[in-house]
Structure 1
């Protein structure tokens, strides 16, 4: 399953706001339009928006070839893309790499080609990394495991395969998986709409559950582990992920269930000391009071919608990366991991 298709002059994105009822692709030829698509969650998931942002810069360079002030315009596009969604660090990570290409390429006539090559590398690396995360996560479990997951962390949220859902895919492929419980993930319903869509497509046994059912399932000993994704991991292991993740971590700790975060090293932000420093995106109240444009609340009702929450590192059993599983103390293990591998 694929959510991003690319070429040098355009980027095609599967509109995830229409899934699962409709599979609609949109074509984008400017960085500004891709930034808006990211903001509108037509493409979402930290690794996916990083990849989409990288190709947006490449597409913009192709469009602006031969124009005056090419580099200034591209840097402006990069800055605009950075602001599309503030919590996920992968977008900034990708923009840093595109800026490095702009700085390192002396010949303006070669910029578009160089930026496209870098975006392609980011996409290809993401797929390789996801498969490695899946294998590393699967190695944590014996057979017959029952996993609870949150939001959508699969092919739709990445270049392909997935992070937390990549672990589930690998478990299924190895014959280790018994069942998946997919949180619906209110208020945007990424679990009910997107994770269920992918699991059904893959033939993986699952049930959608409301977010409020998780505690009951754990109490009834129906869950062996929780595996979630991440949008940013601070130096101390504090993890920003889709709203509702923190509650799962607290419930898992109470019930003695391991709680794993699956994420590429590009999601680790050592410059952020703790979760207190992670910016939390505040989205429209209408996404809470409405579902697909249909009001579910009284006229005049107000609502809060922080898109993410932060799970303290002390509640995270382990962070599953492409280089293996990292455990506490994260202030030591995360810098050591990045230093060793990069």
Structure 2
């Protein structure tokens, strides 16, 4: 099976996201990358779910970790009857899909696909764990190839020798859009806000950009307005944890304020991904509130006095009037016209792109 992660950065290769082998799942610890390249080894599917909760992997990482966790669950119950295996896998699917509230709907879709693959493998007398692992690779190929299409449409919006600002870690779109830029000879430069408190922009996005040979500069989270104004930023772009069908974009906290500045500066903001049928309106969104103590430190070093309180919403919501376009595998849509995506040939409910 040809893999779609060819020529992408270290961080985006399947084995370096999450990988099932010999009764365990290895997940690259993105909390400490690139300062250290270490993997968290999970020996139960519950440990996989906990790793997702604990942000060992994030962005689209859970969409590989979750099905690999289902492969591990299949390995755990391999000696049981077919009915008992399916019952065990259904419980594992619930545990894994509910690891984080914001991604629950997409994770449930993935786990449901794994359950169907388990049923097929059991009927065919195949190794269920290996079947789910192979299905995970297949799903990754589909997702990466669709992201390559999105990357192509997004790069159409980049001027030659242009300047692009991102926010947080857009995962596969970063690699595929840069691979597309390289193939077209578009020598763009990038600015990456650090995105505290996990510093995904500084550690992950910037690493991928540098790994793929592009000029990348990290800025602190309070610098985007200055940089947009003084460094002639041409495009602001992000992925999204959810794109509601009414055009609201849910993404790493800070996206909203950057979109406001971009609008004020006359800079287009393009969000990449697919609209979520599970989020018909923004009212269905639950903003995940994380441990406030994380905002009182930087990479484990406390920066605030004891007794000072923290506040940590993981995401914010950008309204559609600040979004220039939603870049999908079928083209670029107005945020006010996203339902057309599902009538233009999309696979609809299986949208798992990021």
Structure-1-length-normalised TM-score? 0.89
Q: CA deviation at 1:42?
A: 1.0
Which residue of the other structure, out of 326, 330, 342, is the alignment partner of 2:337? 330
Aligned to 2:139: 122
Structure 1, 293-302 or 20-29: larger mean CA deviation = 20-29
Q: How does 1:76-225 map to 2 (within 5 A)?
A: 76-88=91-103, 89-102=105-118, 107=123, 109-110=125-126, 111-154=128-171, 162-164=172-174, 166-220=176-230, 222-225=232-235
Q: CA deviation at 1:139?
A: 1.9
Deviations for 1:228-282, whole angstroms, at most 9, x for unmatched residues? 011111111211111100111111111111100112x3xx311312223211111
Which residue of the other structure, out of 25, 29, 39, is the alignment partner of 1:25? 39
Cα–Cα, structure 1 residues 242 and 165, in superposed 2: closer, same or farther, change >3 Å? farther
Aligned to 2:261: 251
Q: CA deviation at 1:147?
A: 0.3
Q: CA deviation at 1:108?
A: 8.8
Cα–Cα, structure 1 residues 26 and 341, in superposed 2: closer, same or farther, change >3 Å? closer
Q: Distance between the aligned counterparts of 1:166 and 1:90, measured in 2?
A: 21
Deviations for 1:276-325, whole angstroms, at most 9, x for unmatched residues? 32111111112101123221111011111110111112221111122222
Aligned to 2:90: 75
Q: CA deviation at 1:225?
A: 0.6
SS at match of 1:211: coil
Deviations for 1:140-174, whole angstroms, at most 9, x for unmatched residues? 233121100001123xxxxxxx1145324422442
Tell me, yes or no, if the aligned pair for 1:53 and 1:95 is still in contact at 8 Å. Answer: yes
Q: What is the count of residue pairs matched by the alignment?
A: 331
Tell me, yes or no, if the aligned pair for 1:13 and 1:26 is still in contact at 8 Å. Answer: yes
Q: Which runs of 5+ in 1 are unaligned?
A: 155-161
Q: Distance between the aligned counterparts of 1:117 and 1:202, measured in 2?
A: 27
Cα–Cα, structure 1 residues 288 and 52, in superposed 2: closer, same or farther, change >3 Å? same
Structure-2-length-normalised TM-score? 0.86
Cα–Cα, structure 1 residues 178 and 285, in superposed 2: closer, same or farther, change >3 Å? same
Q: Distance between the aligned counterparts of 1:106 and 1:319, measured in 2?
A: 40
Q: Distance between the aligned counterparts of 1:66 and 1:17, measured in 2?
A: 35
Tell me, yes or no, if the aligned pair for 1:51 and 1:94 is still in contact at 8 Å. Answer: no
1:58 equivalenced with 2:74 (yes/no): no
Tell me, yes or no, if the aligned pair for 1:90 and 1:231 is still in contact at 8 Å. Answer: no
Q: Distance between the aligned counterparts of 1:302 and 1:30, measured in 2?
A: 35
Tell me, yes or no, if the aligned pair for 1:164 and 1:227 is still in contact at 8 Å. Answer: no
Aligned to 2:236: 226
Q: Distance between the aligned counterparts of 1:14 and 1:296, measured in 2?
A: 27
Aligned to 2:322: 315
SS at match of 1:177: coil
